C-alpha cells in the first residue's frame, strides 16, 4: 500500500458486528471473560483497547515498522524509552531539542542516576568522541525544535549499530509522510501525536514505533506497568486526523515555502530557518533523507531586541500566539519563554537559541492571508 492509502486503511477494517466504517470508540475499562484466562485478547483497558490497537497498527504501518505503542502524551512516550535505562547508564542527545525532552532527562532521570550529554550532531562522526561503555541510548530530534537543524539519521545509525546502542528518533516535526527513521537504521521512532498526526489541536498523545520484538515487549511492559495510556476517544480523534495527514502536510509545506521566501526577502528579517531553503546549512541532509520540508519556520529580526520580537508576536491577528504546532491553524511561539523555558539560558545560547527567536507553525489557511498578517505585524 502507498502512504495515502495507508493513512486511511492500514489496520482499519469495518467493525465486524455492525459494519461501522469508522473505528468505534470502545469506551470500556474492562472486558467480559468466558472463563479464567479465556477471553478475546482484551482483559483490561490499560493493557489493551481495540480503538488503541487500530491506531497502534496504523502508526506502525505509516512508519514502516512492525509494532506501534500509543501513550497519553509525547512526554509519556519519551518517559517509556528512558525507562529502558538503568542507573549509571548514559544517554547522548542532540543539543537543540524540545525543552520538555531536556527537562525530563536532566530533572527526572538524572535523579535516578542516568547521565546525559547534549551535543551538536552536525558532524555525526564526532558522536564517537562522547561514547563510553555506559552509553546505552542516542536520542535525536530531526528536524530539531526550534532551530530546524537536521541530523543525518543513517550516519548516526551506523555508529549506534557498531557500538550496539539504541537509537531513538523524535520524528514529530517531519511526520512519517516526510521521513521514516526506521528505514534509515533507527531502533525506535517517537512522535508527539499532539502535533501533525492528530492535526487539529484537540488531543495530547504520543507514540513509539519499532521493529524488534523484544524491544516492543519491554516497551509494552513499561506502557502497561506505568500506565500512561491514551483514552479510546483520543485514539479515535488521532485516527481521524491521520486520514488527512498527507493532504495537510502538502499544504503545510507549500504554505511554508511561500512564507519562508517572503520572510527571506523582507528588509526587517535577519535569519530565516526553514529546511527547504537551498542555503539552509543542512539542506543536503533534507534532500537525502526527507521527501519534503514541512511547515515549521523560525526567524529573527534585524533589529534584534526582545521588545521588537514581542511586538511582532503580539501584533499577529491570524497567527495565534501559543505553544504547540502541527494543527490546521497557524501558530506563533516564543521558544525562550514557552516551549524551551526549562533549558537554562546559557545552554540555549550555546546552541544558538536566542531570546528573540520567533517560531511559526504554518497552518493550512490561504497563504495570502498569512502573508498579509506577517506584513502587518512586521510593519
Catalytic residue numbers read 46, 98, 170, 195
d(CA 211, CA 207): 14
d(CA 76, CA 81): 9
Q: Which residues contact 318 (CB under 8 A, 6 or more apart)?
A: 330, 365, 369, 370, 373
Applying CB under 6 A, the residues found at the interface with ligand P1T are: 73-75, 98, 100-101, 141, 145, 170, 172, 192, 194, 204, 206, 323-325, 333, 339
Least distance to ligand P1T, CB of residue 190, Å:
7
The closest residue (CB) to ligand P1T is: 74
Q: Which is nearer to ligand P1T, 4 or 310 (CB)?
A: 310
Least distance to ligand P1T, CB of residue 324, Å:
4
Q: Which is nearer to ligand P1T, 42 or 343 (CB)?
A: 343
Q: Is residue 79 within 8 Å of 260, Cβ to Cβ? A: no
Q: Is residue 23 within 8 Å of 136, Cβ to Cβ? A: no
Least distance to ligand P1T, CB of residue 335, Å:
8
Q: Which is nearer to ligand P1T, 24 or 352 (CB)?
A: 352
Q: Which is nearer to ligand P1T, 61 or 172 (CB)?
A: 172
- Cell numbers for 92, please give them: 547522548
Find, among 242, 202, 326, the residue nearest to 56 by Cα. 242
Q: Which is nearer to ligand P1T, 269 or 341 (CB)?
A: 341
d(CA 270, CA 265): 10
Label residue 24 exposed, middle or buried (CB < 10 Å: 0-12, 13-18, 19+).
middle
Q: Which is nearer to ligand P1T, 323 or 329 (CB)?
A: 323
Least distance to ligand P1T, CB of residue 142, Å:
10
Q: Is residue 101 within 8 Å of 139, Cβ to Cβ? A: yes
d(CA 15, CA 11): 12
d(CA 121, CA 131): 13
Q: Which is nearer to ligand P1T, 240 or 266 (CB)?
A: 240
Q: What burial letters (b/e) apply to 9-21, b meaning 16+ CB within 10 Å?
A: ebbbeeeeeeeee
Q: Is residue 169 within 8 Å of 140, Cβ to Cβ? A: yes
Least distance to ligand P1T, CB of residue 71, Å:
9
Ramachandran area for residue 227 (φ above 0: left; ψ -120 to 50: alpha; else beta)? left
Cα–Cα distances in angstroms (integers) from residue 320 to residues 305, 306, 325, 327, 363, in the given order: 21, 19, 11, 11, 10
Least distance to ligand P1T, CB of residue 246, Å:
20
The secondary element (H helix, E strand) that includes residue 7 is helix 3-9
Least distance to ligand P1T, CB of residue 104, Å:
9
Amino acid at each position: 500500500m502507498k502512504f495515502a492509502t495507508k493513512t486511511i486503511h492500514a489496520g482499519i477494517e469495518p467493525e465486524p458486528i455492525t459494519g461501522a466504517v469508522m473505528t468505534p470508540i470502545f469506551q470500556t475499562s474492562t472486558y467480559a471473560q468466558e472463563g479464567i484466562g479465556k477471553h478475546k485478547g482484551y482483559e483490561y483497558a490499560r493493557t489493551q483497547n481495540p480503538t488503541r490497537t487500530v491506531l497502534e497498527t496504523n502508526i506502525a504501518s505509516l512508519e514502516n515498522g512492525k509494532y506501534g505503542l500509543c501513550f497519553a502524551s509525547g512526554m509519556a512516550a519519551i518517559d517509556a524509552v528512558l525507562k529502558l535505562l538503568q542507573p549509571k547508564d548514559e544517554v547522548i542527545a542532540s543539543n537543540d531539542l524540545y525543552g520538555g525532552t531536556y527537562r525530563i532527562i536532566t530533572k527526572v532521570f538524572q535523579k535516578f542516576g542516568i547521565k546525559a550529554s547534549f551535543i551538536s550532531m552536525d558532524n555525526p562522526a564526532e558522536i564517537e568522541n562522547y561514547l563510553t561503555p555506559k552509553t546505552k541510548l542516542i536520542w535525536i530530534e530531526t528536524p530539531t525544535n526550534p532551530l530546524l537543524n537536521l541530523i543525518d539519521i543513517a550516519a548516526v545509525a551506523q555508529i549506534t549499530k557498531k557500538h550496539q546502542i539504541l537509537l531513538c528518533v523524535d520524528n514529530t516535526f517531519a511526520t512519517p509522510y516526510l521521513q521514516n527513521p526506521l528505514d534509515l537504521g533507527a531502533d525506535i521512532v517517537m512522535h508527539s501525536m499532539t502535533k501533525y498526526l492528530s492535526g487539529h489541536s484537540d488531543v495530547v498523545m504520543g507514540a513509539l514505533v519499532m521493529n524488534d520484538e523484544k524491544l516492543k515487549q519491554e516497551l509494552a511492559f513499561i506502557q502497561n506497568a506505568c500506565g500512561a495510556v491514551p483514552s479510546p476517544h483520543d485514539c479515535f480523534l488521532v485516527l481521524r486526523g491521520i486520514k488527512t495527514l498527507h493532504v495537510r502536510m502538502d499544504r503545510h509545506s507549500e504554505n511554508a515555502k511561500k512564507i519562508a521566501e517572503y520572510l527571506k526577502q523582507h528588509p526587517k528579517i535577519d535569519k530565516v530557518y526553514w529546511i527547504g531553503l537551498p542555503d539552509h546549512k543542512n539542506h543536503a541532509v533534507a534532500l537525502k533523507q526527507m521527501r519534503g520540508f514541512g511547515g515549521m519556520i523560525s526567524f529573527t529580526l534585524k533589529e534584534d531586541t526582545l521588545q521588537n520580537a514581542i511586538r511582532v508576536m503580539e501584533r499577529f491577528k491570524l497567527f495565534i500566539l501559543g505553544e504547540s504546532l502541527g494543527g490546521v491553524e497557524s501558530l506563533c511561539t516564543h521558544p525562550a519563554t514557552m516551549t524551551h523555558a526549562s533549558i537554562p539560558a546559557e545552554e540555549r545560547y550555546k546552541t544558538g537559541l536566542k531570546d528573540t527567536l520567533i517560531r511559526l507553525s504554518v497552518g493550512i489557511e490561504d497563504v495570502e492571508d498569512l502573508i498579509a498578517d506577517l506584513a502587518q505585524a512586521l510593519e
